């Protein structure tokens, strides 16, 4: 039987194996170097004082690098010692009445160096006049050189013993230029004048705050102002001293409210003076009775002659601050007094019975 012709079969190829394409290797993303932007720098004079120390706290909280300056005549390092470990705070023990040099840029300058207590500026009248005249001149020159905005701390004392009540910014005041309080009143009036001159003639960005009676923690218990004087006497078991009949009036603003108003004014576009204070008015006698009730003591009220040129009325008209800064005080006197009283109660026995803050022996002419 014949064999069939057979075509040899081609060898069957094994199915090609699919080789997966290599996965791209992800390179770690290059890390961008984080460059910390340097903080804007603020110079605060009178930094170890009552208001200056609170301003240091506020500007640090707002993210600024704070340079504090104080000659410590009336200021106390205790007020700012909690800041010394911070890298964004530095302190210079210096008198701004001589000269002021600060290397580097400055965004803001706040000039709060000055005795503010009648006891102090009656003991050191020349230094009181110098710091608001020569000191202000030096700091305005620094602001001009640095292109910085400067805010100066004026006072309700520019109104003197006012004949207008309440006092608004358009009132020119009623001041005895050669009386015992004139060294403070006129120093601040000159301060306002030279500040406005630098604004109009040199184009320096200036702000002016007229500060009314302010209280709160870090006040000196023995600085001679009525609130610490009353609380100090109550804590020591002494009778409360009222000068005059006690029918003169004052208005007391809690320090946190004041600092908020100052901060808003600094950031505003207004170069004229602005009242910052609490318009809630009270007589000195009523205030003494509030302190006795607050402290739970049973002291008597004793009366002594009214000092020369002591103003009979003091109440801010804050219409401009409300309109311009959208500001008004929030802390009631009852609430603020509780906080302040707790602070004074925490003082040591030595501080409580300290009569004179400073002898000023190096400054008083013999």
Per cent of the chain over pLDDT 90 is 72
Asked if 155 contacts 114 with a C-beta cutoff of 8 angstroms, the reply is no
Per cent of the chain over pLDDT 70 is 87
Confidence at residue 313, expressed as pLDDT on a 0 to 100 scale: 83
Q: Which of 12-16, 57-61, 285-289, 331-335 has the lowest mean pLDDT?
A: 12-16
Confidence at residue 363, expressed as pLDDT on a 0 to 100 scale: 63
Confidence at residue 213, expressed as pLDDT on a 0 to 100 scale: 94
Confidence at residue 353, expressed as pLDDT on a 0 to 100 scale: 84
C-alpha of 313 from chain center? 25
Q: Please give the angle made by the CA atoms of 92, 95 and 98, to the nearest 5 degrees.
A: 125
Query: Is the whole model's pTM more than 0.85, yes or no?
Result: yes
Which has more pLDDT, 364 or 282? 282
Tokens 């199915």 -> residue: 15
Mean pLDDT of the chain, nearest integer: 90
Q: Which of 55-64, 106-115, 136-145, 240-249 has the lowest mean pLDDT?
A: 240-249
What is the rounded CA–CA span in Å between residue 106 and residue 149?
Answer: 9
Confidence at residue 262, expressed as pLDDT on a 0 to 100 scale: 98
Question: What residues act catalytically?
Answer: 184
Mean pLDDT calculated for residue range 35-39? 82
Which token pair is 230? 């009353």
Structural domains in the chain, CATH included, are 41-219+253-279+315-331 (3.40.50.720)
Which has more pLDDT, 49 or 225? 49
DSSP annotation string for 211-278: E--EE-TT--TTS--HHHHHHHHHHHTPPEEEETTS--EEE-EEHHHHHHHHHHHHTSS--SEEEES-
Which token pair is 364? 């008083």
pLDDT at 30 over 70: no
Asked if 133 contacts 183 with a C-beta cutoff of 8 angstroms, the reply is no
């Amino acid at each position: 039987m014949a064999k069939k012709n057979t075509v040899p079969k081609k060898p069957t190829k094994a199915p090609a194996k699919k080789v997966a394409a290599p996965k791209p290797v992800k390179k770690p993303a290059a890390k961008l170097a984080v460059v910390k932007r340097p903080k804007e720098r603020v110079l605060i004079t009178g930094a170890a004082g009552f208001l200056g120390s609170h301003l240091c706290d506020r500007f640090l909280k707002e993210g600024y690098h704070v340079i504090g300056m104080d000659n410590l005549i009336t200021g106390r390092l205790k007020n700012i010692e909690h800041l010394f470990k911070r890298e964004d705070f530095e302190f210079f023990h210096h008198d701004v009445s001589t000269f002021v040099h600060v290397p580097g840029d400055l965004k803001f300058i706040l000039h709060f160096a000055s005795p503010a207590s009648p006891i102090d500026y009656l003991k050191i009248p020349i230094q009181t006049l110098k710091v608001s005249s020569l000191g202000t001149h030096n700091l305005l020159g620094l602001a001009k050189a640095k292109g910085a905005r400067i805010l100066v701390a004026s006072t309700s004392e520019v109104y003197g013993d006012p004949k207008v009540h309440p006092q608004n910014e358009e009132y020119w005041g009623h001041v005895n230029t050669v009386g015992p309080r004139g060294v403070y009143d006129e120093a601040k009036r000159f301060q306002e004048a030279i500040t406005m001159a630098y604004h109009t003639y040199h184009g320096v960005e200036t702000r002016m705050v007229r500060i009314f009676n302010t209280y709160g923690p870090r006040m000196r218990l023995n600085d001679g102002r009525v609130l610490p004087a009353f609380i100090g006497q109550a804590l020591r078991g002494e009778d409360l001293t009222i000068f005059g009949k006690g029918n003169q009036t004052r208005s007391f603003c809690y320090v946190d409210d004041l600092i908020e108003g100052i901060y808003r004014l600094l950031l505003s576009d207004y170069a004229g003076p602005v009242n910052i204070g609490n318009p809630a008015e009270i007589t000195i006698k009523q205030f003494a009775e509030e302190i006795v009730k607050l402290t739970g003591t049973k002291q008597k009220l004793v009366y002594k002659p009214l000092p020369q040129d002591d103003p009979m009325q003091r109440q801010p008209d804050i219409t401009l601050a409300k309109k311009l800064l959208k500001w008004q005080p929030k802390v009631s006197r009852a609430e603020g007094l509780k906080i302040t009283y707790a602070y004074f109660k925490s003082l040591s026995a030595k501080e409580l019975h300290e009569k004179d803050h400073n002898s000023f022996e190096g400054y008083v002419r013999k």
